[in-house]
Chains A and B, each alone.
Chain A
Amino acid sequence: MAYDCIIIGGGLSGLTCGIKCAEDGLRTAVISSGMNSLHFSSGSIDVFGYRQGGGKVYRPFDYMKETAKSNPAHPYSRIGSRMVRESLEFFNDQISLAGISLHDNGDENHFRITGLGVMKPTYFSQDSVFNDKFKKAVEERASIAVLNFDGYRDYYAELTVSQLRKNPIFKRTGIITGKVTLPFYTRTEKNLHEFRSIDLARVFDTEKYLPRIAEEIKRAARGARVVSLPAFIGIDNFAQIHKRLEDLTGCLIYEIPSLPPSILGLRLDNALRSRFAALGGEYSGGDRVNGGEIMDGELDHIHTENYGDTRHRSRFYVMSTGSFFSAGLRSGFNMLDEPVLGLRFSGSNRRSDWYSAKFFDRKGHPFLKYGVETNKYFNPFGSDGKAVKNLFCTGAMLSGYDPIREGSGGGVAISTGYFAAKRIIGEMKKNK
């Protein structure tokens, strides 16, 4: 057997699982066909943000315990809040080994500021998005400058501020908006329309413009103590860049996520992939798993698009191919399925059941809850109705929860991935 574990889909869930397996010395490979949804996310990890009937969750682990009985099919209920917590700590450790420090409030959520000035509950945020200094500064009613860059279309400071001002927390805080002009922005250049977060992040990454940008920030901030920028202050060296900018400007500098591509998410993805590689994991990014064979309740082999008939074999398999968005689930004209292995699917086949009448309906959309059904160990069911014992499904492809309405996408991805890794490690030990 070539591998101990092949993971299909290298997203937040698959990579967390892969890191845990590789750390334990398992021979692990990830096969992924495209970039994962971290690239579009806020870069914050939501664990549990909203209550079932509406209202915010302040203590996510307590809420998990509270709802475990009434909602037994929820991935969290199957894992248990203790292990969810353990998985998040593991994740935090790994990410910090890769040089990113995450903020959390222990048992509690914190609130990140969105581009529209809404305060959204979340569990982990990068230090440049939220930290204790920020909390303190807000409590002290330090003045805030919400800034944007000239020519950048994917963020508008005025929109953020208009809602912030309505928020009681910022009632008596002085908030201004302003624009930073990049040193080279005076040139009109063809194709400047590709002026995205990624292009700006690279400007920061080159570092040579930093002193001038800092000057510009200081000018635009007009003496404010706290400055927010759209989230692209560097990719690889962002921690140093962030610190240097704070030193150069004398302001506290924060990032507010803008439209995708998400630099905050890209950092996490880079961190996860570099951890996985450092622990000896093998990653293949250019291929898609397009089938496999389940025999007697075990996945025997899989094959991929680029290798045709060739069979890839492993003792255990994990599928974390994401939701519809990442093509882990598939919808057609009056049909829904899991496209790779045809695993048992939970969801209605009638198209009109999939959505709510309003786009921003408070109840969300039913299709977001659809996904693969599993037993309590996250083993899915094959077409014969039997659980596939050496295959685990994790992350966004799972049914039974609504990542957006509940604010639980990141937490479920991490904890289910971690859970699967622990099961696999346990089984491997038993078999030895």
Chain B
Amino acid sequence: MERYETQAVVIGGGATGAGTLRDLSLRGIKSILIEKDDIASGTTGRNHGLLHSGARYAVKDLESARECISENRILKKIARHCIEDTGGLFVTLPEDDPVYHNELLEGCKISDINAREISIKEALRLEPNLNHNILSAIWVPDGTIDPFRLAASNILDAKEHGAGILTHTMVTGLELKSGGNIVRAADEKGNQIEIRCDLVINAAGVWGQHVCSLGGIELKMFPSKGSMLIIDYRINNIVVNRCRKPSDGDIIVPGDTVSLIGTTSREIDYSRIEELRVDDDEIDVLLEDGEKLIPNVSKTRALRAYCGVRPLVAISGETMGRNISRGIVLIDHSERDGAEGLITIAGGKLMTYRLMAEMTADLACSKLGTGGRCRTAKTPLPGSEKKISERKNVRAFTGISQSVVGSTLYRHGLRVQDILKRDKKNYRLICECEMVTEGEAEYAIKKLDVKNIIDLRRRTRIGMGPCQGELCAYRSAGLFADFGIYRPEKSIELLYNFLEERWKGIKPVLWGDGLRESEFTYWIYEGLLGIGEIKFDDDPGDGDGV
């Protein structure tokens, strides 16, 4: 049994938890974050990473719209390397109700979102792959946001300000008493951990219901599943929204080297949130609707499909997934349930994580009676300290391929300086699709709380390209052994788990070149290497999306 003591424990390593941990740390509050799996392994890593301009909400939910645009502006400054300022379009198709177009423009005006109608010609120039039959287009300041990087750099900054983090550690018990709460947790090997703290912050997203129940408190979550599809490459360079009432398959978001078609919305029972899967008919819907926005997209290679659960808190009795407000829910359980030391933060959006963290930390500080003012709206995340000049950085690393420097820079911002040293490691690619060098993998494994290949993927994009881990999985497994992180047996097990995890997202879109690729991968690992014949002690763990 390991025992720790701290001021605050944050449960959940999604964007919200990570942001809260950082905010607390910047204010000088000693905190530890506990995450049952990996950073951004929950809903944070399973959405389409849209940096909303707020336009999507401008017709029906002005509050959300305003939150979005204000956070949109902040994040573009403090999280440069996690964000791409792509811009977005709302396009009306012949079958869509043209009235929505005006409502949207009107709503944007009220919410101070800089939206403007543009000509069809202009829209097609911005996005040549767009359906040529659109009737009208509105430009909005949408962008994209990489959730993995966002969460990881929040954690990195928090750690650099003294915070602690335990990943792959599950909170199993909460003892909420005034004068000292106890959080019990267990890691994957079964080691028990006990943390005594003044304050527990429940940032466990949709699992917040369960976390509350550990402390004997009832909080009802309303899970709504959304599925998305990843396309092999970046078919659009600007976010494309369908200009109609929110419904299935109405957005295509570029994200790093790929594009995502999103999303569906299906009510599910809370008991099923651990066994989510993408249904075949959801794929049909996404491809069919995606095809309307960008013709021929269904003939390109779909890399994988995955789904997430919207962490909506059912405060009132609403039942429809999209009509429930995505508003931020901050609960001080002392008022509600008499639990002095518990705060729950839920709802909201990925891109409002900072605001949510600020609200939470404000409440925490007032409860603890210490801590300074929030600085996160101004202080850039590690890697985003300065405006990043690609040209200058590329030149600084002559000798390394430009595509490697550019890709690493894109992923780690200015921290590229710590990664691409003039070392042979950086001339060796581990992942050839996404240009991840051995140096980058080493940095991630040693500095960014990577515990297995699945985590490594979230930090570096290893295995996220078209081959989905065909060669890089083996190479990464070797690295874990090479760096002395794990025994070789364990490394092989990581490899096995990684490939099983990838399979979850591949099999719903198994056709065409994806099927060929899978046949190849299967030949390599089963035929050539015989991994299926190896007996491991434990079962493969759970994994996730993107």
Contact = CB atoms under 8 A, between A and B. Distances in A.
B424 A360 contact: no
Contact of B298 (A161, A333, A357): A333
Given A154-B471, A158-B481, A351 B424 contact: no
B515 A41 contact: no
Contacts of A191: 401, 427
Interface string B422-445: 111001111010000110000000
B275 to A, nearest CB: 12
A162 B482 CA distance: 13
A260 interface: yes
Chain A contact surface mostly: loop
B532 to A, nearest CB: 4
A336 to B, nearest CB: 9
A230 to B, nearest CB: 12
A40 B520 contact: yes
A413 interface: no
B471 A193 contact: no
Contacts of A325: 516, 519-520, 523
Given A325-B516, A351-B280, A352-B280, A153 B475 contact: yes
A362 B532 contact: yes
B99 interface: no
A41 B511 CA distance: 23
Given A156-B482, A368-B519, A188 B427 contact: yes
Contacts of A368: 519, 522
B527 interface: yes
A96 B135 CA distance: 69
A129 B502 CA distance: 32
B1 interface: no
A377 interface: no
A354 B507 CA distance: 9
Contact of B500 (A260, A355, A358): A358
B523 A40 contact: yes
B246 interface: no
Given A162-B487, A362-B532, A332 B428 contact: no
A193 B530 contact: no
Interface in A354-370: 354-355, 357-360, 362, 365, 367-368
A356 to B, nearest CB: 9
A191 B399 CA distance: 8
B491 interface: yes
Interface in B210-263: none
Interface residues of B, number: 55
Contacts of A400: none
A190 interface: yes
Contacts of B520: 40, 325
Contacts of B424: 151, 188, 192
Interface string A140-164: 0000000000010111101101110
Contacts of B155: none
A324 interface: yes
Given A159-B481, A325-B520, A352-B280, A118 B533 contact: yes
B87 interface: no
Contacts of B510: 331, 351, 354-355, 367
Nearest to B427: A192
Contacts of B438: 153
Interface in B459-505: 471, 474-475, 477-478, 481-482, 487-489, 491-492, 496, 499-500, 502-503
Given A159-B481, A162-B487, A359 B500 contact: yes
A173 B159 CA distance: 47
Contacts of B471: 154, 259-260
Given A120-B530, A332-B511, A359 B499 contact: yes
A114 B530 contact: yes
Contact of B526 (A192, A334, A357, A404): A404
A362 B492 CA distance: 18
B528 A159 contact: no
A188 B503 CA distance: 37
A28 interface: no
A153 B430 contact: yes
B530 A359 contact: no
A195 interface: yes
A325 B422 CA distance: 39
A334 to B, nearest CB: 8
A151 B534 CA distance: 27
Given A324-B516, A359-B500, A42 B280 contact: no
A161 B481 CA distance: 12
B522 A118 contact: no
A115 B503 contact: no
Contacts of A409: 527
Nearest to A262: B528
A193 B429 contact: yes
A404 B488 contact: no
B176 interface: no
A163 B532 CA distance: 13
Given A333-B511, A351-B511, A355-B507, A158 B423 contact: no
Highest count of chain A CB atoms <10 Å: which of B429, B526, B528? B528
Interface string A322-345: 011101000111100000000000
Interface in B393-407: 399-401, 404
B359 interface: no
21 contacts: A40-B524, A42-B528, A114-B530, A151-B428, A153-B475, A159-B491, A188-B422, A190-B400, A191-B427, A192-B428, A193-B401, A193-B432, A259-B474, A259-B524, A327-B516, A332-B511, A333-B512, A351-B510, A358-B500, A360-B531, A360-B532
Interface of B: 280, 287, 298, 399-401, 404, 422-424, 427-430, 432, 437-438, 471, 474-475, 477-478, 481-482, 487-489, 491-492, 496, 499-500, 502-503, 507, 510-512, 515-516, 519-520, 522-534
Given A158-B491, A331-B510, A403-B527, 7 more contacts: A114-B529, A114-B530, A162-B487, A332-B512, A355-B507, A360-B525, A365-B522
